[in-house]
């Protein structure tokens, strides 16, 4: 429980999220659309979700005889996966929605993520309990966790605990994987005739839970605003000191939405988009060669400085790196001969002797310090841990090597001094922007009505985010509708499809159109810190990518 508060937290606690008109209506009815289909693999998905496949999209409307809780209900809540700004407002919206339906409705939070459901660790969420958390960042109200519910034993444990507590609905706040889990759980409950409705809520700062139906996941707006604030500040510093190349790595391993959004907000000199690298099958050497060329051409203009934005997951999108990692894992796991080697130098030599062809080339394209890091830091199974590699440092070193060679050939005469940054934890728990505060509150409120209506296997949906909040639409999307089959650990699994950066889409094309100019000139923008008060144009900005995707 929060004992004290900063002046901002204190002032912000009285903020009343703007509620869509439809959710403020005294009586809310459900309008059903047409039956739905999964985005692909229809037959397989239908077979896996016999009870929840094909449900209609639903939209809420104001109308008589709407959703009711004549008998009080008890709803369970779990926060799943990484933190995202606005989670506490989902809880607040869910709570207020339930209380609007029936003052006696109850909300219980399960602690520390899905493991709380298994271990039956929980807390009742009351009005006074909620007060210090409204409009604040973090998931600390009940905590979050990454435990996956995958086995029948786990499902049965959840059924046992929820049934004992007389729970009639479970709201799962999470990303694509957690919502896939919610769908599986909802289907399992139906299969077992357990009367518990499962509703999902789209969370992730990464922005990769996005599709025809979901305009943006919550947290993306706030997190990217924090990263853009910092990137803008670093750009100003860069332009004032004219001394360094700043390499800014941004959180998000599976897609480059964050990097793209920050790039469009800040206009740095270079932005790497993993999806483009993968589509073009670029090698690491090709990527760094392109970057080095920008460094060289700027130095010709007397500019030995610049700012580069890098998505955290870059390496895993470079085909040769993926292959190299696989081969290294095969070669080194349980390899006594290799294990016996003590020094990095000897390990590197050993590996060079045991690689060949493309893999050897790829390994040799890595700077020695990264080669050493790759071989030193392996997981308990002996696998190389690509996630532990400091990609920004790798790129700095690789570019230094390129520039050294160019200098030797008389093709470069500038100075190159670099600073690396990683922005991640700084943005996941920021107090939600007005957009996220309102959006999350509406998502939670919507979830309460989906729960009360017994609409299982649905994702809480709030749309038309480019319009004023009063005009937002609210309703539910069948989770199976967003699914396809994917190969995971050698098995076909039904999953909600991750959204990658669309290389044909307007946001990426806007980057493409401008990047040569941004590389050459210093058209840095400084978005500044999130403003909770002030002119609407400042305090109520929506993501640039969303404007480009959904704007007219």
Is 302 near its own copies (CB under 8 A)? no
Reduced to 3 states, what is the DSSP secondary structure of residue 216?
Answer: coil
DSSP state of 80: B
DSSP string, 293-323: HHHHHHHHTT---EEEEEETTGGGGSHHHHH
Range 344-383, binding its own copies (CB under 8 A): 344-345
CB-facing half-sphere around the CA of 174: CA atoms within 13 A: 31
Range 499-528, binding its own copies (CB under 8 A): 521, 523, 525-528
- Per CB under 8 A, the segment of 115-123, 239-247, 292-300, 410-418 that binds its own copies is 239-247
Range 242-301, binding its own copies (CB under 8 A): 242, 246, 265
Specify the residue, 25 or 525, whose C-beta has the smaller distance to its own copies.
Answer: 525
Give the angle subtended at the CA of 204 by the CAs of 201 and 206, to the nearest 5°: 150
Neighbouring residues of 357: CB distance < 8 A, sequence distance ≥ 6 = none
**Is residue 446 within 8 Å of residue 23, measured between CB atoms?**
yes
Give the integer Cα–Cα distance in Å for 96 and 127: 9
**What does the per-residue mask of binding to its own copies show for 419-438, with x meaning CB under 8 A?**
x-x---xxxxxxx-------
Crossing angle of helices 220-241 and 257-266, rounded to 10°: 50
**Is residue 96 within 8 Å of residue 75, measured between CB atoms?**
no
Question: Which residue among the candidates 96, 177, 206, 208 is catalytic per the annotation?
Answer: 206
206 among known catalytic residues: yes
- Per CB under 8 A, the segment of 45-53, 124-132, 230-238, 387-395 that binds its own copies is 230-238
Q: Alpha-carbon Rg of the chain, whole angstroms?
A: 25
* Given 541, 542, 543, 545, the residue binding its own copies (CB under 8 A): 541
DSSP string, 434-486: HHHHHHHHHHHHHHHHHHHTT-TTEEEEEE-TTS-GGG-EEEEEEGGGGEEEE
Give the integer Cα–Cα distance in Å for 110 and 142: 7
* Given 128, 151, 193, 240, the residue binding its own copies (CB under 8 A): 240
Dig out the tokens for 154 from the structure: 């786990």
Specify the residue, 43 or 241, whose C-beta has the smaller distance to its own copies.
Answer: 241
Specify the residue, 52 or 135, whose C-beta has the smaller distance to its own copies.
Answer: 135
Phi-psi region at 334: left, alpha or beta (left = phi > 0; alpha = psi -120 to 50): left
- From the list 505, 478, 508, 509, the residue with the least C-alpha distance to 494 is 478
Is 3 near its own copies (CB under 8 A)? yes
Range 139-158, binding its own copies (CB under 8 A): 139-140, 143-144
Range 53-82, binding its own copies (CB under 8 A): 82
Specify the residue, 143 or 457, whose C-beta has the smaller distance to its own copies.
Answer: 143
* Given 28, 30, 295, 530, the residue binding its own copies (CB under 8 A): 530
* Given 61, 130, 239, 341, the residue binding its own copies (CB under 8 A): 239
Dig out the tokens for 294 from the structure: 């920008």
410 phi and psi, to 5 degrees?
Answer: 75, 15
DSSP string, 375-411: HH-B-TTS-B-GGGS-HHHHHHHHHHHHHHHHHHTTS
Q: How far is the CB of 340 from its own copies (least distance, A)?
A: 15
Specify the residue, 291 or 430, whose C-beta has the smaller distance to its own copies.
Answer: 430
Specify the residue, 2 or 68, whose C-beta has the smaller distance to its own copies.
Answer: 2
- Per CB under 8 A, the segment of 6-14, 70-78, 94-102, 172-180 that binds its own copies is 6-14
Specify the residue, 232 or 457, whose C-beta has the smaller distance to its own copies.
Answer: 232
Range 434-493, binding its own copies (CB under 8 A): none
Is 32 near its own copies (CB under 8 A)? no
**What does the per-residue mask of binding to its own copies show for 79-108, with x meaning CB under 8 A?**
---xx-------------------------
Q: How far is the CB of 177 from its own copies (least distance, A)?
A: 17
Specify the residue, 71 or 537, whose C-beta has the smaller distance to its own copies.
Answer: 537
* Given 64, 128, 164, 343, the residue binding its own copies (CB under 8 A): 343
202 phi and psi, to 5 degrees?
Answer: -80, 100
Please identify every residue annotated as catalytic. 206
Residues that bind its own copies (CB under 8 A): 3-12, 82-83, 112, 136-140, 143-144, 226, 229-230, 232-234, 236-237, 239-242, 246, 265, 342-345, 419, 421, 425-431, 521, 523, 525-535, 537-539, 541
């Amino acid at each position: 429980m929060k004992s004290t508060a900063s002046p901002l937290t204190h002032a912000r606690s009285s903020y009343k999220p703007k509620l869509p008109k439809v959710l403020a209506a005294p009586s809310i009815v459900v309008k059903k659309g047409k039956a739905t289909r999964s985005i692909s693999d229809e037959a397989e998905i239908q077979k896996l979700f016999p009870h929840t496949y094909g449900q209609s999209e639903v939209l809420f409307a104001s109308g008589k005889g709407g959703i009711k809780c004549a008998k009080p209900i008890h709803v369970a809540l779990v926060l799943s996966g990484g933190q995202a700004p606005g989670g506490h407002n989902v809880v607040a919206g869910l709570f207020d929605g339930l209380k609007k339906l029936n003052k006696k409705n109850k909300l219980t939070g399960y602690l520390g993520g899905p493991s709380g459901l298994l271990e039956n660790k929980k807390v009742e969420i009351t009005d006074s309990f909620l007060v210090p958390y409204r409009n604040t960042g973090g998931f600390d109200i009940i905590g979050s966790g990454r435990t996956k519910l995958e086995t029948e034993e786990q499902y049965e444990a959840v059924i046992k605990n929820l049934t004992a507590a007389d729970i009639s609905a479970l709201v799962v706040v999470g990303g694509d994987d957690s919502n896939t889990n919610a769908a599986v759980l909802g289907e399992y409950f139906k299969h077992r005739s357990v009367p518990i409705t499962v509703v999902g809520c789209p969370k992730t700062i990464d922005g990769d839970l996005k599709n025809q139906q979901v305009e943006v996941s919550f947290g993306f707006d706030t997190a990217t605003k924090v990263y853009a604030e910092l990137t803008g500040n670093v750009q100003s510093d860069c332009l004032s000191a004219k001394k360094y190349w700043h390499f800014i790595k941004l959180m998000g391993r599976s897609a480059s939405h964050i990097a793209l959004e920050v790039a469009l907000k800040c206009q740095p000199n270079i932005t790497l988009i993993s999806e483009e690298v993968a589509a073009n099958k670029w090698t690491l050497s090709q990527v760094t060669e392109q970057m080095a060329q920008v460094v060289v051409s700027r130095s010709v203009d007397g500019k030995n400085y610049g700012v580069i934005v890098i998505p955290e997951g870059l390496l895993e999108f470079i085909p040769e790196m993926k292959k190299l990692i696989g081969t290294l894992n095969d070669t080194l796991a349980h390899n006594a001969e290799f294990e016996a080697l003590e020094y990095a130098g000897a390990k590197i030599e050993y590996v060079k002797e045991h690689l060949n062809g493309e893999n050897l080339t790829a390994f040799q394209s890595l700077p020695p310090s990264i080669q050493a890091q790759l071989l030193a830091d392996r997981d308990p199974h002996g696998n190389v841990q690509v996630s532990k590699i400091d990609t920004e440092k790798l790129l700095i070193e690789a570019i230094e090597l390129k520039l050294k060679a160019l200098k030797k050939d008389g093709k470069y005469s500038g100075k190159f001094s670099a600073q690396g940054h990683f922005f991640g934890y700084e943005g996941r728990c920021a107090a939600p922007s007005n957009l996220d505060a309102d959006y999350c509150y509406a998502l939670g409120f919507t979830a309460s009505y989906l729960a009360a209506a017994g609409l299982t296997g649905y994702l809480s949906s709030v749309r038309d985010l480019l319009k004023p909040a009063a005009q937002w639409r609210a309703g539910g999307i069948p989770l199976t509708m967003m699914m396809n089959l994917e190969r995971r650990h050698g098995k076909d699994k039904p999953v909600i499809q991750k959204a990658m950066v669309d290389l044909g889409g307007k946001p990426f094309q806007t980057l493409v159109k401008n990047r040569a100019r941004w590389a050459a000139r210093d058209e840095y923008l400084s978005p500044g810190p999130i403003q909770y008060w002030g002119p609407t144009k400042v305090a109520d900005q929506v993501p640039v990518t969303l404007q480009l995707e959904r704007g007219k």
